[in-house]
Amino acid sequence: MPEATKLPIPVPSNDPKKKQPEERPEEDDKGAASKKKDEDKDGEDLSEEDLQLKNELEMLIERLREPDTKLYRPALETLRTLIRTSTSSMTSVPKPLKFLHPHYPSLQALYETWPASDDKSLFADILSVLAMTYSDTQPRGTLRYRLLSAALSPSSPLSEPGSWGHEYVRHLAAELGEEYNSRELDEAGVEKESEESKVPGTVDDLRNLAIQCATFLLHHNAEPDAVDLLEEMEIVDKIVDLVDENTYERVCQYMIRCVNLLPPPDDVSFLRTAHGIYAKHHKFPQALALSVRLGDQDLIRKDFNAPANSSMKKQLAFLLARAQVPKEWLEAPAEDGMDDGESELPEDLVECLSNTRLSTQFKEFGKELSVLEPKSLEDVYKSHLENTRTATAANVDSAKANLAGTFVNAFVNAGFGNDKLMAKAEEGNSWVYKNKDHGMLSAAASLGLSLLWDTDEGLSQIDKYTYSSEEHIKAGALLAFGILNSGVRTEADAALALLGEYVENKSVSLKTSSIIGLGLAYAGAQRADIMELILPYVADDSVSMEIASLASLSLGFIFVGSGNGEIASTILQTLMEREDKFLDEKWARYMVLGLALLYLGLQDGADATIATLKAIEHQISQTAVVLVDMCSYAGTGNVLKVQELLHYCDEHIDKTPKEKKDDKDTTPEEPPKDDTFQAFAVIGIALVAMGEEIGSEMSLRQLNHLMHYGEPIVRKAVPLALGLVSASNPQLPIMDTLSKYSHDNDLQVALNAIFAMGLIGAGTNNARLAQMLRQLAGYYYKEPDCLFMVRIAQGLVHMGKGTITINPFFSDRSIMSRTAVAGLLATLTAFTDAKGFILDRYHWMLYFLVPAMYPRFLMTLDEELNNIPVTVRVGQAVDVVGQAGKPRTISGFQTHSTPVRLGTTERAELATEEYIPFAHVLEGFVILQKNPGWEKEDKMDI
């Protein structure tokens, strides 16, 4: 057999093949010898059946060579039947193809001599199948003959490609992709094919054939192949019409998993296509989840208003509330009819959209998990387990210790509203008075965190501090109002009413607290009235950089991911007009962050702004470009962006400008500002990569390299990036890495590493982390700053007594919450200069984490929104996309009764079929409907 294939291989062009039949005598000796050998060899191996088949095939080929044209059709029909009906095992080539393989070149030559007719079309169809055995020497032969065959019989359509079997379709699909790509190259003039092997037909012919192949693949459980083929042909949107109720689910899952791995324009088109499929099959929660990912206002409104079932609408409202989608988006866009729009949404829907039930349900959840009791600081620190020498430990600055206590108490008891130090303190014995100066501000603000989401009780509790004569306490109370309302919308708009009047206050601390308070309370709300209130402070040259920058940040929070042009142009204008000495201040990074947050997740929507930023002469423009760029691709896993950011990190910045500019007074400020952009580039790597698992794992290695070889500013930011990439998800390798960094010689690195340990363990109660932090408390007992940070990290690990997460991804880690990312970024920005912010007077910046905090629970509700206990299985989520059959989606599960706590990488599913959930992912609030068929089955079992 191998000898026979030697003939065509050494001949690259197709010319000799044509001459083969005529010039037989020349090659006779060689050919006859090899044939003889071949027949002898085959003769030994072949059974009688095979010999008979071989002879029959050879006879049919002889028929085609005879002059009598009437014999052609029956011979071709018989050939076709023989090829189609031959079954063989998966591993071997079907017998007819094996025997016809040596005759392929002569058949090709014969084909060229026939006149155009239906017979020739059928002949081309058969050659197209035989070409599969020659795919290595004659690329795209299968496709070429298939299209020739179609061209020869325009009247009668060809048989479906699927009728030749699965392997043939896969061959065609592969060749279609190659051909399409080579044609694109041709247009660019890269490669030219010889006329002989050129594939006929237009691009539309290729696409129509691709659609036929995709239809076959979809019906034969090869959904990924169908999607890949259509993606190669750039017509992936056509798949919406090809799927049916059996295949759409698998197609959509595969497409959604591909999104993270696709380059920019394709990823959005995949999401839109999957959305189209879900909408067509009335899968509203899935469709809405994709609309939220796309951030498309019209799609969200359409999906929300699509279902008629009121329970389904409530379920969608819960999803929108979790994603912090402004409820104004759901109203009809008519400008004059705004008031009518509000009255259209029924009361119970507005309640779900505003998240007003969050506080009561969260407390109910705490009660079920028996963590309602307040925790004292000692419960968290467990200092009897620390190996410190108490005599020396007493020297530590107690104001600092009390300040740390403020934050720990607030984070640990967040949302329960019953802590002993603040909310339920005895009259006149409040913890506020155990702090001094700026500590009082943070202490008063911590009340907002303790009463988080509880707008009714919270307002009255905090109100009494607004009458305080001490300015810091008053400012803290204003910030507390903002924190309290974070993520919850009320009809009364209390936050705006209370904070609005203080925005114009003369006092800097009251002004900044009210501006940041508004930012936290209305994060993601995109309210134009608040913009009018705060925007003037960004543009005002007379106010300090601190106020202007915090105003910019606050607007970034409120309009996160909106790409609002008015705010962006105002911030850009300010950056251009402010004097250099102002832009050199540490606050400038917050002004730039405010600008970057506007473009969070907009991808190329930020290109114009980046171009403008490059024109700014001050060196802040470099930081701004990095920040805006990384925010616009946050969570996309875009590889090219990560590489770009890595390039920023490897620049070695020489501090020589210092000498050149000696004549100016700004010398001490100059050098550290120069390389701030590198710190953000490191955080940017984590920000872009955190969307998908493979990317985030790869980023860990890069961060490790940066830690080894980076400049000090880069090393300082690496722990922060590690904390961001795995927020509330304590993975062992990351824990060990951070533990190592927390003993670094550079105290800045150690400090950030300790904080990052708090971030990765936030709200997990992770015992191993708690133990590490206790050891660190002993290790740093003489370093007040580091000890302060260890305490904060301990507070974060036990956040909400283990019931709250700060991971920005929800709905089975598929949707990124923009407000949560904004909160995390603002906090990390403070740590890029911890000495200037957190360890100075601005420790209240730790409260920037609030927008990212959310309960990690699964609450099951009936259609009247009352809690119902249901048995669920909770286990580690398993990725089953593209696997055959219906594999288990969770592994190592335990069975619980709801409400139940879900870890970052965990997934829940109902244990019985007694209820049907309205949501597609069991997470947060899930409304259940009794399964009408359940009781009947139950009775049958009895």
Please check whether residues 648 and 599 belong to one and the same domain.
no
79 lies in a domain? yes
Please check whether residues 628 and 645 belong to one and the same domain.
no
- Which one of 855, 884, 904 terminates a domain? 855
Kindly report which listed range (103-117, 193-207, 487-501, 845-859) carries the lowest average pLDDT score: 193-207
* Residue 355 pLDDT level (bands cut at 50, 70, 90): confident
- Which one of 797, 826, 855 terminates a domain? 855
918 lies in a domain? yes
Please check whether residues 688 and 818 belong to one and the same domain.
yes
766: domain CATH number is 1.25.10.10
226 lies in a domain? no
Judge residue 732's burial from the number of C-beta atoms within 10 Å of its C-beta, 0-12 exposed, 13-18 middle, 19 or more buried: exposed
What is the percent of the chain with per-residue pLDDT over 70, rounded to a whole number? Answer: 87
* Residue 884 pLDDT level (bands cut at 50, 70, 90): confident
Please check whether residues 846 and 923 belong to one and the same domain.
no
Kindly report which listed range (263-267, 529-533, 652-656) carries the lowest average pLDDT score: 652-656
What is the span of the domain harbouring residue 753?
A: 637-652+673-855
* Residue 389 pLDDT level (bands cut at 50, 70, 90): low
Spatial distance between the Cα atoms of 900 and 365, rounded to a whole number of angstroms: 8
708 lies in a domain? yes
Cβ contact 123:114 at 8 Å: yes
Task: Specify the pLDDT at position 336.
Answer: 45
* Residue 37 pLDDT level (bands cut at 50, 70, 90): very low
Strand partners, 805: 854
Please check whether residues 677 and 714 belong to one and the same domain.
yes
User: Averaged over 516-537, what is the pLDDT?
Assistant: 91
Please check whether residues 842 and 892 belong to one and the same domain.
no
User: Averaged over 707-735, what is the pLDDT?
Assistant: 92
* Residue 133 pLDDT level (bands cut at 50, 70, 90): confident
As a whole number, the mean pLDDT across the chain is: 83
Spatial distance between the Cα atoms of 828 and 838, rounded to a whole number of angstroms: 10
Please check whether residues 147 and 62 belong to one and the same domain.
yes
Task: Specify the pLDDT at position 505.
Answer: 85
Task: Specify the pLDDT at position 742.
Answer: 93
Q: Going edge to edge, which strands form the sheet with 871-877?
A: 890-897, 871-877, 906-910
If we measure between CA atoms, which residue out of 124, 217, 101, 238 comes closest to residue 170?
Answer: 217
736 lies in a domain? yes
Task: Specify the pLDDT at position 926.
Answer: 93
**Above 80 in pLDDT, residue 466?**
yes
pLDDT in tens, 573-628: 999 988 888 888 889 999 999 999 999 988 888 889 999 999 888 888 999 999 99
Please check whether residues 549 and 564 belong to one and the same domain.
yes
Cβ within 8 Å of residue 827, ≥6 positions away: 845, 846, 848, 849
In three-state secondary structure terms, 788 is helix
Task: Specify the pLDDT at position 936.
Answer: 53
Task: Specify the pLDDT at position 663.
Answer: 36
Task: Specify the pLDDT at position 90.
Answer: 55
Cβ contact 924:880 at 8 Å: no
Please check whether residues 802 and 891 belong to one and the same domain.
no
Task: Specify the pLDDT at position 2.
Answer: 43
User: Averaged over 806-834, what is the pLDDT?
Assistant: 93
621 lies in a domain? yes
Please check whether residues 887 and 840 belong to one and the same domain.
no
Task: Specify the pLDDT at position 427.
Answer: 60
**Above 90 in pLDDT, residue 76?**
no
Kindly report which listed range (148-152, 378-382, 430-434, 706-710) carries the lowest average pLDDT score: 430-434
> Cα dist. 567→552, 554, 624 in Å?
8, 11, 15
* Residue 189 pLDDT level (bands cut at 50, 70, 90): low
- Domain count for the chain: 4
Spatial distance between the Cα atoms of 131 and 213, rounded to a whole number of angstroms: 17
User: Averaged over 896-924, what is the pLDDT?
Assistant: 90
What is the percent of the chain with per-residue pLDDT over 90, rounded to a whole number? Answer: 36
685 lies in a domain? yes
Please check whether residues 917 and 811 belong to one and the same domain.
no
* Residue 397 pLDDT level (bands cut at 50, 70, 90): low
- Which one of 855, 880, 897 terminates a domain? 855
916 lies in a domain? yes
pLDDT in tens, 210-259: 999 999 999 988 889 999 999 988 888 889 999 998 889 999 999 999 88
Task: Specify the pLDDT at position 796.
Answer: 94
Please check whether residues 843 and 699 belong to one and the same domain.
yes
- Chain centroid to CA 175: 32
If we measure between CA atoms, which residue out of 821, 802, 799, 801 comes closest to residue 810?
Answer: 821
Q: Across 613-705, where does the E strand assignment appear?
A: none
